[in-house]
Amino acid sequence: MREEKLSFQDKIIKHHLTKIYRVILCVVLVIVIATSIHFYREGKVYTEYEVTKTYDSIGSKDSKVEVYNQNNILCYSRDGVSAYNAKGEQLWNRTFEMQSPIIRTSGEYVVAGDYKGNEIYLMNASGPCVTITCNKIIVDVNVSQGGVVIATLDDSSVTWLELYASDGTSLATIRTTMDQTGFPVKLSMSPDNKKMMVSYLKARGNGIQTSLAFYNFGDVGQNMTDKIVSGYDYAEKVIPFLHYVDENTAVCVGEDVLQIYYGKQIPELKTQVEVEKDIQSVFYGEGYTVLVYRNEESEDKYRADIYDLNAKLVLTKTFNMEYDNIVISNKNILIYNSAEVLMWNLKGLEKYNGELGTDIKAIIPTKNEMKFIVVRDDGVETVKLK
């Protein structure tokens, strides 16, 4: 009886081991297949394109177009602003009359302000939200992912930063002057609406100075003077690019420096790296910052340096194509103008270099690296690289 019992237990163990081996084999096969697909896609080079779908045109020929809320399209002019989906179907529309509209987007929110005017319009994914009338002249407008509107207003010798909630109610007022704080060149608010960073430029002796001020509008900032929880001064520098990439991390680019600030409540300088002066353009996406320079070391006109959120240089590439925009998507760098497209991956492999039709106003990447939404003067198209 003892031998029969052991034999039966052995059969059970053997049966379970067989099932485990099969599961392990399936997992290994899945990993191998997934890895193979990943490396295939990563190394795939495209040489042609085809238009798979065509939709009606949007806006007017003079309208400006940009990506909005992931895969949607924002179209605006002096007469108003409209949002469309990837098929060119209108999602919402807001009409207005502005001489010099300032348009900013962040997540689902869009803000439109009339430069040197008094009206501000806020929209979200559902359409128009609120109209804000300012009693001072509008110099700039911004909006956070959480729908907070920041208006930079001119009042003779004083510049005001007015913060409004998405329903138009006043949240905070910040007074700035050239003598004390400096002029607010650029600002960015964290997605949770609690922290804001401002780059102030002011005279310092015979030169200039940039002061970075970090505001906290939550509990931590209530006991701080003007709600400023940290600040940094930089002599003889201009820092015109600021971007909160998430609730705790901000990227700053100055004339010769790239900085990463981090802090859940009180932001501090995490890391920085010296970069070359004379930066021509700055682009950000998916955790990567692209700095574009005029190239003096080869026949190509431009050089792009790509950094990660640790301020580490991950790629340097030169290119000769004139560009209208640079987009980072699917860990690819997409450079384009009205007719041409150049695409690299982050290992420097050139994945596409060629035409993509004419009259391109905007290219919107999709989750598939080979498919794009292309907005042209005469319509919207889905384009596939092959």
pLDDT tens per residue across span 161-216:
999 999 999 999 999 999 999 999 999 999 999 999 999 999 988 899 999 999 99
366 inside domain: no
Question: In terms of residue numbers, what domain contains 1?
Answer: 1-43
Distances (CA, A) of 192 to 126, 148, 283, 362: 20, 10, 22, 29
* pTM for the predicted model, two decimal places: 0.87
- 103 inside domain: no
- Give me the residues paired with residue 365 across strands: 372
Q: Confirm whether 14 is domain-assigned.
A: yes
- pLDDT at position 7 over 70: no
Tell me what pLDDT residue 60 has: 82
Average pLDDT over the chain, rounded to whole?
A: 91
Q: How far apart are CA 262 and CA 247, in angstroms?
A: 9
Residue at 260 is within a domain = no
Q: Give residue 61's pLDDT.
A: 78
Domain assignment present for 336: no
271 falls within a domain: no
pLDDT digits (tens, 9 = 90+) for 16-32: 667 776 766 666 555 54
Tell me if 199 sits within 8 A of 240, measured CB to CB: yes
Answer whether residue 34 is part of any domain: yes
Dig out the tokens for 299 from the structure. Answer: 């026949």
What CA–CA distances, in Å, run from 16 to 2, 6, 30, 38, 130?
21, 15, 21, 33, 64
Answer positive or negative: Cα dihedral of 174, 179, 183, 188: negative
Residue 19 within a domain: yes
Q: How many domains are there within the chain?
A: 1
- Find, among 268, 359, 342, 272, the residue nearest to 301 by Cα: 342
Chain segment 280-322, per-residue pLDDT in tens: 999 999 999 999 999 988 899 999 999 999 999 999 999 999 9
Tell me: pLDDT of 53 over 50: yes
Q: How far apart are CA 265 and CA 298, in angstroms?
A: 45
Q: How many whole angstroms separate alpha carbon 67 and alpha carbon 65?
A: 7
Q: How far is CA 237 from CA 6, 38, 207, 209, 309, in A?
A: 81, 43, 9, 6, 22
Mind listing the pLDDT tens digit for each residue in 242-281? 999 999 999 999 999 999 999 999 999 999 999 999 999 9
pLDDT reading at 358 higher than 90: yes
- Residue 11, SS3 per DSSP: helix
